[in-house]
Amino acid sequence: KELLPGFHQFEWQPALKNVSTSCNVGIIDGLSGWTSSLDDVPANTITRRFRYDVALVSALKDVEEDIMEGLREGGMEDSTCTSGFRVIIKECCDGMGDVSEKHGGGPAVPEKAVRFSFTIMSVSVLADGQEEEVTIFTEPKPNSELSCKPLCLMFVDESDHETLTAILGPIIAERNAMKESRLILSMGGLPRFFRFHFRGTGYDEKMVREMEGLEASGSSYICTLCDSSRHSITRCHEENLERYEIWRTNPFSESAEELRDRVKGVSAKPFMETQPTLDALHCDIGNATEFYKIFQDEIGEVYQKVNPGREERRSWRAALDKQLRKKMKLKPVMRMNGNYARRLMTMEAVEVVCELVPSEERRESLRELMRLYLQMKPVWRATCPAKECPDQLCRYSFNSQRFADVLSSDFKYRYNGKITNYLHKTLAHVPEIIERDGSIGAWASEGNESANKLFRRFR
């Protein structure tokens, strides 16, 4: 009983707006009484969730011993530290693709699912009369499915904006209420006060665009972090909301084109705040997809051709797949995934591909591209880059500049003034995100993704 949300007593001060004060609430219908707003599906079957505050309490109680241990190690007097606790929460939300039952005749629900979960990243405390905040708990495995607690499971297609917003609506309302209040919860036998800070970082690009009201990823506004003409992270939830208002009202009576330029690709109402960051897992995947295409182009010597036909391209891909399978036992995949990406992005893979590339000069370019990439990758993969790879962190800007130069010179046929979304983020934004958050890898969506696997297994 104690392991599931709904067991512990707690209280909010001030009480949460529009949220009941009962503490013993377990799994609830995710629509929390909004049933009338959905049409196609028997509404009571479509989603289940925990109440957000109840789930947070349960997760905090899970790490109670670690928190008390942290207080003792910090040499803090247990009885004086009752207020000033700050909890940082990472939120993840991701579509799980097709989860249809292969047999069985349950209720008719969409065969796609979305899962929303959170991880307690750290707990710190500002003791009475102290200047400095002390971190007393840091999640050692922020990307494990064990630390990633499910909050809501819904049978919904992630591109169905209406249903997604209807289901996430109550969660966002609870989250907003909790931002304005503090939790009183007994820890180590004494009531203590906690404040929560939420950071939505575990979203792939598709979901960020969905939540922040940006155009889909094929849009010429390639970046969810900046307007892509300005090279620093400038997008934020507030600005997206303002831009949506401009888009809606068109105060300067501009043409569609002018208006779109003014709002830089915000064309739907942003409904959930996400932290502008780069998701390490999807960064791997996005960049590997790109390298996979570069490899094909190099096998076909595209740099000296005018647009080759589809058949030709297909034969290069077949050659690449066959070579990778023969030399690296790497089976082709329908859709790039994290494991394939990790194996493809290695010097070993480049050497294998180079066997099919006729010109020595081109082989050298490919090797250099991968060398630079592998120098950069640990920086956005590490849980704590300043400790784990300080040298690569220092050289990051230099390496990314060089990488961009190689792309725009040796691979000009592919990157003449245009670049893919994730390459842009990898090259332009990594150092400033790390400066702000200390890490990119720790905030990735991996834990949520691996828990998706478990869900499929148990469904």
The full DSSP string for 3-21 is TSTT-S-EEEESPPTTS--
Sketch the domain layout of the chain as residue ranges.
Answer: 10-204+449-458, 209-263, 280-443
Do 336 and 292 touch, CB atoms closer than 8 A?
yes
Report the chain's mean pLDDT, rounded to a whole number.
88
Residue 155 identity (one-letter amino acid): F
Q: What is the pLDDT of residues 36-81, one digit of tens each?
A: 555 555 556 688 999 999 999 999 999 999 999 999 998 887 777 8
Q: What is the pLDDT of residues 233-251, one digit of tens each?
A: 788 999 999 999 999 999 9
Q: Considering only CA atoms, which of 403, 394, 401 is closest in space to residue 367?
A: 403
- Distance from C-alpha of 276 to C-alpha of 430, rounded to nearest angstrom: 11
Kindly state the DSSP code that residue 132 receives in the 8-state scheme: S
- Distance from C-alpha of 162 to C-alpha of 373, rounded to nearest angstrom: 39
Average pLDDT over residues 345-352: 97
Comparing 394 with 76, the larger pLDDT belongs to: 394
Name residue, tokens 């889909």: 216
In this predicted structure, the answer to whether residue 32 has a pLDDT above a threshold of 80 is no
Residues in the chain: 459
**CA distance to 33, 107, 164, 174, per residue, from 170 (Å):** 10, 24, 11, 6
Backbone angles phi, psi at 189, to 5 degrees: 85, -5
Region of poorest pLDDT, from 241-250, 269-278, 354-363: 269-278
User: Strand 190-202 vs strand 85-98: parallel, antiparallel, or unpaired?
Assistant: parallel
The full DSSP string for 203-246 is --HHHHHHHHTBPPTTSS---SSS-SSS-S----HHHHHHHHHH
In this predicted structure, the answer to whether residue 346 has a pLDDT above a threshold of 90 is yes
